[in-house]
């Protein structure tokens, strides 16, 4: 019986010729990741277990991104604990304020994810790196502690859903619209503990930033991971960012899938998710005119340079509507520099946007954009659960950078195609 991409990677990690869905395996890890919220919990468990060594100081990454620059005393204490651990074990890939970025944009940028690798992170959106043909998934902080100590973890081999993409995206439609459309189709538990494996002729038309966005939100459909095949665009990205050797995998022609979902990219429209679930999707034309008080453009989902370019193209020569706050948060320091070099920052500032240092900040209701009672935000982040960005009666509408920017200009949910 043939294997999917995910099954092949897990078989290799376990030292087996083949695996099948439902099988329990112990796999070798290529990277263990944590942030300023989850790493301190992992450190507590690490020390409680009496562990005194990490398996490989080069294969652990600690990224202080969620509450930094530290918003309060508790955040500062968490970061101090992570800094102490990084010093104690000489962790090579430790990223602090000034060098930090939003983890799931920073890790690929720094060449720490590659095809065929097994990557775990104490953050649910670790599935982002499937865009590079890796098996990457979120784990709990206890698993992170075990992974840091041993370099191995147990996995149950997931079944897979084949997502066949055809056609090409029309103007003003991006990877965010693709994944919102898919989640709307199958629901927030439609891929529960399954692998979303993207394939088809439409894959080649998607830029890497689109693929990162799509895999990032695989978890919002309940998926264990999302993964794309390695093609010329993947290889070009890796040539720029990753110097070490890697071995991609391809699904076997006779690989078994639980089902196939087909999406014709050319038929998609700008799509949003209304409160309070990512699956509550509508086309932007169905909800245009809904009043808003804030717009956030950034996060591990949509804070990359392509996202900023798309937003800046909307803002150029326009201003944020009265009564609306717009916050733009690039995902890494390198993206900040690129946005400066391309004049994007001037466009944002001239339009009346606030422009931030890299941080997760408002995505989790941490800082840099928490909502007040009853306020509504259009956000390029990945979750719109009750109370995610503020009080329980505040609301988040998930959208692409183009829709978010158009909404900031109009002062309500807006279709970028109409500006």
Which pLDDT tens digit goes with each residue over 250-294?
Answer: 999 999 999 999 999 999 999 999 999 999 999 999 999 999 999
Render pLDDT for 390-402 as a digit per residue (tens, 0 to 9): 999 999 999 999 9
**Beta-ladder partners of 329:** 298
Distance CA 332, CA 336 (A): 6
Write b or e for each residue in 308-325: b if 16 or more Cβ atoms lie within 10 A of its Cβ, otherwise e: bbbbbbbbeebebbeebb
Q: What is the mean pLDDT of residues 217-237?
A: 97
Give the Å distances, CA to CA, from 401 to 115, 137, 328, 374, 416: 28, 25, 10, 23, 10
Structural tokens at position 259: 């089902």
406 closest CA partner among 235, 270, 238 = 270
Strands 118-121 and 31-35: parallel
Q: What does residue 248 show for φ and ψ, rounded to 5 degrees?
A: -70, 160
Q: With 80 as the cut, is the pLDDT of residue 355 above it?
A: yes
pLDDT score for 242? 96
CA dihedral 123, 397, 220, 259 (to 10 degrees): -160
Q: What is the mean pLDDT of residues 208-232?
A: 97
Domains contained in the chain, CATH given: 5-263 (3.30.499.10), 273-418 (3.30.499.10)
pLDDT score for 164? 97
Residue holding tokens 């509550």? Answer: 280
pLDDT score for 415? 97
Distance CA 362, CA 38 (A): 17
Write b or e for each residue in 247-274: b if 16 or more Cβ atoms lie within 10 A of its Cβ, otherwise e: ebbebeeebebeeebebebeebbbbbbb
pLDDT score for 204? 95
- Confidence at 368, pLDDT banded by 50, 70, 90: very high
Distance CA 285, CA 406 (A): 13
Q: What is the mean pLDDT of residues 327-351?
A: 97
Looking at every residue in the chain, the average pLDDT score rounds to 96
Q: What is the mean pLDDT of residues 311-320?
A: 97
Whether the CB-CB separation of 180 and 216 falls below 8 Å is answered with no
pLDDT score for 419? 87
pLDDT score for 330? 97
């Amino acid at each position: 019986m043939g294997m999917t991409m995910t099954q092949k990677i897990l078989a290799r990690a376990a030292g087996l010729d083949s695996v099948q869905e439902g099988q329990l395996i112990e796999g070798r890890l290529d990277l263990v990741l944590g942030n300023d919220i989850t790493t301190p919990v992992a450190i507590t468990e690490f020390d409680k277990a009496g562990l005194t060594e990490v398996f490989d100081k080069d294969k652990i990454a600690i990224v202080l991104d969620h509450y930094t620059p530290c918003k309060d005393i508790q955040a500062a204490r968490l970061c101090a604990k992570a800094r102490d651990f990084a010093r104690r074990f000489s962790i090579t890939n430790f990223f602090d304020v000034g060098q930090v970025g939003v983890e799931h944009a920073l890790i690929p940028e720094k060449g720490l994810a590659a095809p065929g690798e097994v990557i775990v992170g104490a953050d649910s959106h670790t599935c982002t790196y499937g865009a590079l043909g890796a098996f990457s998934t979120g784990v709990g902080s206890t698993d992170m502690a075990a992974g840091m100590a041993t370099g191995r973890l147990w996995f149950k081999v997931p079944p897979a859903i084949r997502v066949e993409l055809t056609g090409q995206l029309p103007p003003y439609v991006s990877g965010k619209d693709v994944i919102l459309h898919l989640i709307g189709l199958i629901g927030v538990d439609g891929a529960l503990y399954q692998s979303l494996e993207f394939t088809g002729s439409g894959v080649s038309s998607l830029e890497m930033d689109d693929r990162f966005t799509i895999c990032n939100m695989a978890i919002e459909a309940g998926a264990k991971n999302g993964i794309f095949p390695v093609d010329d665009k993947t290889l070009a990205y890796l040539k720029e960012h990753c110097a070490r050797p890697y071995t991609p995998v391809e699904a076997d022609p006779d690989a078994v899938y639980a089902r196939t979902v087909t999406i014709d990219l050319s038929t998609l429209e700008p799509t949003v998710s209304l409160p309070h679930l990512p699956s509550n999707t509508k086309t932007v034309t169905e909800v245009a005119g809904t009043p808003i008080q804030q717009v956030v453009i950034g996060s591990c989902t949509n804070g990359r340079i392509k996202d900023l370019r798309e937003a800046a193209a909307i803002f150029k020569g326009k201003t944020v509507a009265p009564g609306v706050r717009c916050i733009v948060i690039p995902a890494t320091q390198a993206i900040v520099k690129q946005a400066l070099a391309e004049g994007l920052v001037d466009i944002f500032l001239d339009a009346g946007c606030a422009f931030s240092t890299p941080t997760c900040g408002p995505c989790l209701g941490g800082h840099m954009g928490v909502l007040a009672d009853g306020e509504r935000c259009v956000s390029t982040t990945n979750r719109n659960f009750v109370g995610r960005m503020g009080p329980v009666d505040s609301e988040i509408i998930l959208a692409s950078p183009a829709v978010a920017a158009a909404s900031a200009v109009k002062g309500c949910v807006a279709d970028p195609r109409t500006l």
